[in-house]
Amino acid sequence: MRGLMMMVHTQQAEIVGQSVGYRLRMDYYDKVQRLSYGFHDRVHTGELITRGMLDVEAVANSFNRGMIKAIWLLVLIGWGTWLLASTDAVLTLAALSFAPVVAWRATVARMRLRVAWLRLQQCLARLTNVMEENLSGIRVVRAFAAREHEMAKFDTVSEQAKRYTDRTINIRVRDVSLMTLPTRRDARDAMRTAANRVLAGHITVGDVTEFLVFMLILQMPIRQLGMVVSALSRASTSGGRLFEILDLEPDIRDQPGARELEIREGVLRFESVGFSYGGDRDRVLDDISFEVGPGRTLGIVGPPGSGKSTIALLAARYYDVGAGRITIDDQDVRSVTLQSLRSAVGVIQQDNFLFTASVESNVAYADPWAQREQITHASSSAQLHDWVLGLPEEYRTLVGERGVSLSGGQRQRLSIARSIMADTPVLVLDEATANIDSYTEMLIQKALAKLLESRTGLVIAHRLATIRGADRILVLQEGRIVERGTHAELMALNGLYARLYSMNYS
C-alpha cells in the first residue's frame, strides 16, 4: 500500500512540476519578448537564457523534490507522531525534544543554501554569457588567433562555477545532513524517560518496543527533510531571479486607452524631438523637426554618431522621445497600440537578423501564410529571386544560423524582401544598402523607388548616392539638423553635406 502511494505521489508530483515549469517558461518567454529595447541593451542574452532554462527547471523540480514532497513528508511525520502519542504522550515529547534543534538547523541551512545557490546561478549565467559570446563571434576569435585567450577567460569563470558548486555541496552535506540528526543528549534523555516510565509502571517493555517501531516509521521522512530544504532553497533563489524579470513592466508599452493606428495618408512628422539614451545629459537628438508624406522620400545623412539610426528607432517607437512628439497622420505614436504601429512602420536596418530557417520562411516572416507568388514577387523586387533559383533547394534552402551561409549583400537583400512582404505604408531604411555592391545597389534602388511611389519613405544613408534622388535631405551633426534641402541645394551651400559628398567620391 505504501509503495503504491509513493508511486502515485511521485507521478503526480512530476506531472504538476512539469506543468508549472511549462507555464512559467511560457510566461517568462512572453515577458522577455515584450520588454523594451532599453532592457535588452542592458541585460546580456546569456543571463536571460540561464534564467529561462536553469532557473525555470529548478522551480519545476522543487514541486517534486520540494513542495509536494514536503506535504507528503509532513503527512507521514504527523501520522508517525500520532502513533507515538497513542503509545505514550510523555515519552513522545521526550523523543521529539530535538524538533526545535531541527527547526533551527533547517533555518540556518536554508539561509546559507539560498546565498550559495544565488551565487552559483549568477556564476552559471556569466559562464553562459562567455560561451554564447564566444560561439557567436567564433570567426573573429579564429581570425585573431585568440583561442588561448578565450580558453583562459572561459577557464576562469568555469573555475568560479566549480568553487561555488563545491561550496553548495558542502553546505548540503554538512548543514542539511546534520540538521536531521538528534543529538546524543536527546537520545539519552529519551531512553532515560522510557526506563523511568517502565519502572513507574506507566508503560511496559512491549510499549517501548512498539514505540521504537513507530520511531523507525518517522526516520525516513525526517531524514528526507534535508533534501526538501535544499530543493526549496534553490527554488526560492531561482524563483526570485525569475520574478525579477516577470515583475518588470516594459518601458515601451500600450498606454491606457491606446487605440488602433488609423492610416489615412501615412504622413510621418517629428515635432521638436529630443532624445537621450541615459537621461537629459549627452543628448543624442535635439530639436528635430521634419515631415514626410506618401510618395515622398526624406533622406537623412550625417557623420557617424550624429543620431541618424536613433531617428529610425524612434519612428517605430522602439524608444520613447524625451521631448517633443512623433505623429503619423496627426496621431501621436505613444497614443496608439504598438501592434498597429509596428504593422504600419517597417524598418530595414544595416545589421539585419536572419533566422535559422529556409529562405522562404525568412522572406515570409511578416506573413507566414503568404503564397509562393507573393514571396517570389517580393524577392524579385529585392533583386533576390534569380540568386534563390540557383540554390540547391531554391526557396527551401536553409540559410544557416543568423544567415551565416550568405554574403552581406545577400542577407541585406533578403531583409529587404522581408520588409517588402510586410507591405507597410511607412518604410524606414537605415543604411539598408551599405553592404551591397554598386551594381546590386543600383538594381535595389530602382526597386525601392518603385516601392516607395505610394509609401512614406525615410532613408538613412552613409553612402550619399543612396539619397541623391530624395525629395528632401536633412543633414545631422551632433544630434541637430544643420542643413536641409535637395541634393542640388545642399551642394550649392558648400557646407557639411558637400564635404561629406566629396569624401564619398574622393
pLDDT tens digits, residue range 327-351? 999 899 999 998 898 888 888 877 6
Q: What is the largest CA-CA distance in the chain?
A: 118
Q: What pLDDT score was predicted for residue 8?
A: 65
Look at residue 327 and tell me if it is in a domain: yes
Q: What pLDDT score was predicted for residue 183?
A: 47
**185 & 235 share domain:** yes
Name the DSSP class of 365.
Answer: T
Instruction: State the average pLDDT over residues 114-125.
Output: 81
Alpha helices in 137-183 (DSSP H): 138-143, 147-171, 177-179
**75 & 200 share domain:** yes
pLDDT confidence tier of residue 189, bands split at 50, 70 and 90: low
**275 & 240 share domain:** no
Q: What pLDDT score was predicted for residue 134?
A: 76
**217 & 137 share domain:** yes
Long-range pairs, 145-154, Cβ under 8 A, ≥24: 154/127, 154/130
What is the percentage of the chain residues whose pLDDT exceeds 90?
A: 4
**211 & 148 share domain:** yes
**444 & 297 share domain:** yes
Spatial distance between the Cα atoms of 190 and 363, rounded to a whole number of angstroms: 77
**318 & 197 share domain:** no
Q: What pLDDT score was predicted for residue 68?
A: 66
**194 & 317 share domain:** no
CATH of the domain at 384: 3.40.50.300
Q: What pLDDT score was predicted for residue 179?
A: 58
Look at residue 251 and tell me if it is in a domain: no
Look at residue 258 and tell me if it is in a domain: no
| Overall number of domains in the chain | 2
Q: Which of 367, 301, 292 is nearest to 326 (CA)?
A: 292
Sequence-ordered list of residues with C-beta below 8 angstroms from that of 234, at least 6 positions apart, any chain: 58, 62, 113, 117
473 pLDDT above the threshold of 80: yes
**44 & 117 share domain:** yes
Which residue range(s) make up the domain with 25?
Answer: 2-246
What tens digit of pLDDT does each residue of 352-368 get? 777 778 888 888 887 88
Say if pTM beats, i.e. exceeds, 0.85. Answer: no
Q: In whole numbers, what is the pLDDT of the chain averaged over residues?
A: 78
CATH of the domain at 147: 1.20.1560.10
What tens digit of pLDDT does each residue of 254-299 get? 888 889 988 888 899 999 999 888 765 678 888 889 999 888 889 9
Look at residue 200 and tell me if it is in a domain: yes
- CB atoms under 10 Å from CB of 162, counted, come to 12
pLDDT confidence tier of residue 187, bands split at 50, 70 and 90: low
Look at residue 389 and tell me if it is in a domain: yes
Look at residue 44 and tell me if it is in a domain: yes
Q: What pLDDT score was predicted for residue 188?
A: 63
Distances (CA, A) of 482 to 179, 185, 479: 73, 86, 9
**177 & 286 share domain:** no
**212 & 281 share domain:** no
Instruction: State the average pLDDT over residues 44-66.
Output: 80
- Residue 486 CA, distance from chain mean position: 43
4 pLDDT above the threshold of 70: no
Look at residue 256 and tell me if it is in a domain: no
Spatial distance between the Cα atoms of 300 and 324, rounded to a whole number of angstroms: 19
Instruction: State the average pLDDT over residues 408-430.
Output: 81
Look at residue 299 and tell me if it is in a domain: yes
402 pLDDT above the threshold of 70: no
Give the residue from 214, 246, 278 where a domain finishes: 246
Spatial distance between the Cα atoms of 476 and 370, rounded to a whole number of angstroms: 39
**338 & 377 share domain:** yes
Spatial distance between the Cα atoms of 340 and 415, rounded to a whole number of angstroms: 21
Q: What pLDDT score was predicted for residue 270?
A: 93
Q: What pLDDT score was predicted for residue 403?
A: 63
